[in-house]
């Protein structure tokens, strides 16, 4: 199914004025209440923004239809696929009207996702891509292009030469793996850019800080950093500051957490290529609701990429 614009998707959820629809046709019946489950990768401020968007969608549905909408937000304490599957399976047992999940491991999550589908619970994937062969709606952005924007910017800032490092996030997570691979491909196009290290932070700021500090100590000629997750650049920025290397090591970040924006304002980071977490949460709920009332949804919804730098970071 071809991509739809967000405006068209919104229109698809509403009855068309002047068109007679059969009683009980898809989208013409409603319940007094709906309950949707949001399962992120881990407890993390980026996912708090997703939850904010989900709550906004719940408020819109209630205002337009009168139906109550409950959002059950349940995050693993660690980026651990076993914990995430336990939450997913517990959620399935409660028979919600829909489940939206950000996959930690497409292969590791697959059996639990198939169980949900088998029980006819609407499933939406956000900030990720579905396991191969599973016909599930996904919401996110072009993860490779997001990485390409950051890597090309770093290459430009370094004048096409120097030692760089990549913070990989959670290597099994589809979106993190895609970004890490695409970072590497951009650097491979420049013979005088050398990737000397990769870190794994498991989407945790403290871990990212420790990994970045160790990598910079082991590679004193390191000139630049990119990241594959939202926690990574914040930890990297902290490590650059603590090492007294602001202006010596260049950071091009990812996403729009307040700490990331402050690093740009302070000159620790040059810029960031950002996802739009609130929009992902909003459309995750909207697609679950559409499925719950019997409407088809697009295969993929692209919420876009925002480029943040000193010129627009205050907006």
Question: pLDDT tens, position by position, for the chain (315 residues)?
Answer: 333 344 334 444 444 444 344 556 888 888 999 999 999 999 999 999 999 999 999 999 999 999 999 999 999 999 999 999 999 999 999 999 999 999 999 999 999 999 999 999 999 999 999 999 999 999 999 999 999 999 999 999 999 999 999 999 999 999 999 999 999 999 999 999 999 999 999 999 999 999 999 999 999 999 999 999 999 999 999 999 999 999 999 999 999 999 999 999 999 999 999 999 999 999 999 999 999 999 999 999 999 999 999 999 876
How open is the CA angle 39-147-150, to the nearest 5 degrees?
125
The whole-model pTM stands at 0.87
222-244 in b/e form (b: 16+ CB < 10 A) is: bbbbbbbbbbbbbbbbbbbeeee
Running DSSP on this structure, what letter comes out for residue 95?
A: -
Per-residue model confidence (pLDDT) at position 30: 83
Contact 285, 71 (CB under 8 A): yes
Taking alpha carbons only, the member of 304, 305, 302, 306 closest to residue 137 is 302
Distance CA 171, CA 255 (A): 18
């Amino acid at each position: 199914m071809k991509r739809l614009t967000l405006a068209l998707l919104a229109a698809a959820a509403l009855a068309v004025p002047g068109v007679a629809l059969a009683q009980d046709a898809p989208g013409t019946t409603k319940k007094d209440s709906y309950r949707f489950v949001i399962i992120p990768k881990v407890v993390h401020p980026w996912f708090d923004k997703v939850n904010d968007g989900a709550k906004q969608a719940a408020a819109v549905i209630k205002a337009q239809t009168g139906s109550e909408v409950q959002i059950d937000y349940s995050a693993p304490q660690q980026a651990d696929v076993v914990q995430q599957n336990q939450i997913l399976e517990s959620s399935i047992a409660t028979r919600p009207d829909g489940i939206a999940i950000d996959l930690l491991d497409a292969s590791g999550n697959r059996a639990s996702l198939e169980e949900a589908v088998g029980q006819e619970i609407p499933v939406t994937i956000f900030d990720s891509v579905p396991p191969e062969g599973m016909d599930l709606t996904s919401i996110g952005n072009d993860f490779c292009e997001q990485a390409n924007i950051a890597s090309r910017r770093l290459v430009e800032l370094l004048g096409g030469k120097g030692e760089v490092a990549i913070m990989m996030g959670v290597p099994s997570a589809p979106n993190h793996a895609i970004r890490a691979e695409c970072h590497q491909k951009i650097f491979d196009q420049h013979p005088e850019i050398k990737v000397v290290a990769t870190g794994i932070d498991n989407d945790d700021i403290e871990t990212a800080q420790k990994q970045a500090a160790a990598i910079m100590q082991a590679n004193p000629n390191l000139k630049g950093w990119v990241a594959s997750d939202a926690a990574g650049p914040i930890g990297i920025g902290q490590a650059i500051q603590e090492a007294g290397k602001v202006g010596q090591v260049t950071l091009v970040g990812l996403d729009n957490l307040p700490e990331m924006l402050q690093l740009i304002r302070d000159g620790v980071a040059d810029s960031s290529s950002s996802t739009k977490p609130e929009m992902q949460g909003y459309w995750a709920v909207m697609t679950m609701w559409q499925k719950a009332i019997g409407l088809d949804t697009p295969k993929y919804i692209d919420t876009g990429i925002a480029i943040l730098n000193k010129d627009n970071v205050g907006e």
